[in-house]
Amino acid sequence: MRSGLELILLMLAASTGLRIVAEHRRIPYATLLVFGGLGLAAIPNLPRIATPPDVLFLVFIPPLLYSGAASFPLRDLRRASGPILRLAVLMVLVSCAAVAVVIHAIDPWFTWSAAFALGAIVSPPDPIAVLSILRPLRLPREITRVIEGEGLLNDATALVLYRVAVVAAVTKAFSPWKAWLQFLVVGIGGAVLGLAAGAIILRSRRLTRSIDVADSTVELASLEAVHA
């Protein structure tokens, strides 16, 4: 566990350094990350470290979602709610189903539940990579806001799909209607809980904004709430 944590800290430090280089050299950050990963993979005799998935979800995903949601204007979310929801929910569902159909057609021994699990993993695009590459083109604000808003929601859709597919794979029973119902229940329930948690966090930060220690504590608790 200790070596895994050290590896995560080292990766965070390396990614920060690459971000600084990208800003100074005006190079897309995602491109530097790809070349950095290739360089890391080329190093011989690197130790294989198994890190628990919960650690990755706690360290990487919550800060990205929290910072993105905190900086995203609610007014833009309301204006572009239609395109954002279509991309973040409908297109992720379509992409997941398309991947599952192709995988199952290539290898029939690949069960439908396992195929949908793979589709859920690869279906959500990374908006940070897309924006870092397209930023020099100076896209209209409406397009960038739609991409950013879709990036805040598509991971949630994919995670719910992945959870449904894994449960179906473990239980050896996959019913499209039951899977769709479970997706709706988990998705709507998660959205309601997220809105409730967001309202509580917002009110708490209004009270602690002038107290640095208390505000930092509330922010850390907010990250944990995003992870939960």
Tell me the per-residue pLDDT of 32-86, one tens digit each, with 9 for 90 and over.
877 888 887 787 877 676 666 666 666 666 666 666 676 777 787 788 888 888 8
For residue 89, the 8-state DSSP code is: I
Q: Locate tokens 């971000």: which residue?
A: 19
Residue 119 CB partners (closer than 8 Å, separation 6+): 95, 96, 97, 98, 99, 100, 103, 161, 165
Computed over every residue of the chain, the mean pLDDT equals 75
Count the Cβ atoms, other than its own, within 10 Å of residue 81: 12
Q: What is the pLDDT of residue 28?
A: 73
Assign 3-class secondary structure to 91-110.
HHHHHHHHHHHHHHHHCCCC
Separation of alpha carbons 113 and 51, rounded Å = 25
* Structure tokens that stand for 85 in this block: 């929801």
Contact 118, 103 (CB under 8 A): yes
Backbone angles phi, psi at 222, to 5 degrees: -65, -40
pLDDT > 90: percent of the chain: 3
Q: Which of 134-143, 158-167, 175-184 has the highest mean pLDDT?
A: 158-167
DSSP state of 87: I
**Which range has highest mean pLDDT (102-111, 158-167, 204-213)?**
102-111
Q: Where are the domains of the chain?
A: 1-51, 53-227
**CA 65-215-223 angle, 5° bins:** 25
Higher pLDDT, 2 or 204: 204
Q: Looking at the predicted structure, is the pLDDT value of residue 199 above 90?
A: no
Integer Cα distance of 61 and 159 in angstroms? 12
pLDDT digits (tens, 9 = 90+) for 101-144: 999 899 888 888 888 888 988 888 776 666 666 666 677 778 87
Instruction: Tell me how far apart the alpha carbons of residues 51 and 46 are, in angstroms, rounded to a whole number.
Output: 15
Q: CA–CA distance from 187 to each of 38, 156, 180, 194, 203 (Å)?
A: 36, 8, 10, 10, 24
Nearest residue to 116 via CA among 132, 135, 93: 93
* Residue 68: predicted pLDDT: 66
Q: Tell me, yes or no, if the pTM score tops 0.85.
A: no
